[in-house]
Amino acid sequence: MRAGSPSLLREINDRAAIEALLRNGPLTRSELEAIIGLSKPATAQLLTRLETGGTVLRNGLRGGGRGPRAQLWTVNGALAHVAAVDLTPDTIDIAIADISGATLTEHRAPMPRTGVLEAFHHAVTKAAAQAGLTTDALHHVVVGSPGAVDPGTGRLNYAPHMPDWNDRNIPEELRALLGTAVTVENDVNLVALEEMIAGRAVGVRDFVLLWPADAVGAAVVVNGVLLRGATGGAGEIDAMRVPDQAHAETGAGRVGSRYGDLLDSAAIAKLARAHGVSARTGLAAVKKALGEGPAGREFLVDLARRVATGVANVVTVLDPELVLLAGDVAQAGGTVLADLVAAELRRLVVPRTTVQLALVTGKPVRSGALHSALSVAREQVFGLPAATTEPFRAPRRHDEERSAPTSAR
């Protein structure tokens, strides 16, 4: 095809229009015209072409008052469907959406200790059925999981708390079960992706996201790209050896302890008790400390020392623009904990790195998985370039040529 040929220009304009409709929702012809910069006749022809190909649909009218109401246009969501799954040792949390991004259904199921593949298959099958679909009708499925899948073997590493998922080629087995393309991504990486799309890391090229929990996780983004590592283990800092800088004595190793052992729920609760703040879990201790006066403050300072000691090792090597604290414990501590971590970090390292709370809350892993799955589907169905934040390039579906609309090929 010659550069500048009419067919190439039509493809470029079609994709620009589809992207604008996906980003902005239903638009009138004049609104779309203003966004993509075409003339009124050219935009009208474009919409006719996309409607004939089944790529866009009429979606009601906009307007009122004295003037005529204008036709609204939207992307045909039924062209493809995706699933996003947040997989934990205890639960399977699923959302099914169409290619426009509209969520069709949600489903949550318990994760048993054995028979995990069967439980996963059953949960996704049920969610798909709620959306009027079968699993093989899903264009792509993205699963957010603790640990990391080794790209060479497909095995889940760094996830001892998910024993029944080990020693398997997880992506391959899930693809066989569901009959469709599946990508398994580290859960904290997906949270970082969501922060890049809709959170505090929008426009930030280099940052680290830390999730202090029973298994401490981190995501590292360098020059706008997730750092994955040769075996998928970049950011798996739970096993990193760090000294305990907390002033209160809890029996933790002063020379060097496993970072995760200093920040799991039991360790945080024990540190709180050493300061006179009694709570059954680490999360409860952090929440309670905010209203406990000097004792609560000193506990949070000690906790910040533990967090900052591990973060300092990462900051010293990477010198990122931003450190984000994510997860329930970080959110419970709020800006108080983030500011304390920043102050402790300044004592330990030369870079003056900003420390903030992650902005995306609720279901950040599932949200990141959904954006990832949509990015894959939109690239394959519409030819739209994957977002620069996309953490992987998925294999193409065997039936994508059959399913893609003519106008998008």
User: Using one digit for the tens of pLDDT, what is the confidence trace for 171-188?
Assistant: 999 999 999 999 999 999
pLDDT of residue 144: 96
Provide the pLDDT confidence category of residue 397 given band limits of 50, 70 and 90: very low
Q: Please state, in angstroms and rounded to a whole number, the distance separating the CA atoms of residues 179 and 173.
A: 10
Provide the pLDDT confidence category of residue 42 given band limits of 50, 70 and 90: very high
pTM of the model: 0.89
User: Using one digit for the tens of pLDDT, what is the confidence trace for 354-377?
Assistant: 999 999 998 999 999 999 999 999
3-state secondary structure the chain: CCCCCHHHHHHHHHHHHHHHHHHHCCEEHHHHHHHHCCCHHHHHHHHHHHHHCCCEEEEEEECCCCCCCEEEEEECHHHCEEEEEEECCCEEEEEEEECCCCEEEEEEEECCCCCHHHHHHHHHHHHHHHCCCCHHHCCEEEEEECCEECCCCCCEECCCCCHHHCCCCHHHHHHHHHCCCEEEEEHHHHHHHHHHHHCCCCCCCCEEEEECCCCCEEEEEECCEECCCCCCCCCCCCCCEECCCCCCCCCCCCCCEEHHHHHCHHHHHHHHHHCCCCCCCHHHHHHHHCCCHHHHHHHHHHHHHHHHHHHHHHHHHHCCCEEEECCHHHHHHHHHHHHHHHHHHHHHCCCCCEEEECCCCCCHHHHHHHHHHHHHHHHHHHCCCCCCCCCCCCCCCCCHHHHCCHHHC
pLDDT of residue 6: 77
Highest mean pLDDT among 8-12, 198-202, 212-216: 198-202
**Domains identified in the chain and CATH numbers:** 6-75 (1.10.10.10), 79-191+364-408 (3.30.420.40), 200-357 (3.30.420.40)
- Top-confidence residue, 357 or 65: 357
User: Using one digit for the tens of pLDDT, what is the confidence trace for 123-170?
Assistant: 999 999 999 999 999 999 999 999 988 988 999 988 888 989 988 999
Strands 81-87 and 27-28: unpaired
pLDDT of residue 404: 43
Percent of the chain with pLDDT over 70: 92
pLDDT of residue 64: 64
Please give the DSSP secondary-structure letter assigned to residue 212. Answer: -
- Pair 58, 32: CB distance under 8 Å: no
Q: Which of 138-142, 250-254, 359-363, 393-397 has the lowest mean pLDDT?
A: 393-397
User: Using one digit for the tens of pLDDT, what is the confidence trace for 100-135?
Assistant: 999 999 999 999 989 999 999 999 999 999 999 999
Mean pLDDT of the chain: 91
User: Using one digit for the tens of pLDDT, what is the confidence trace for 284-296?
Assistant: 999 999 999 999 9
- Top-confidence residue, 406 or 49: 49
Provide the pLDDT confidence category of residue 69 given band limits of 50, 70 and 90: confident
Highest mean pLDDT among 54-63, 67-76, 99-108: 99-108
pLDDT of residue 394: 42
E strands in 250-305 = 257-258
pLDDT of residue 392: 44
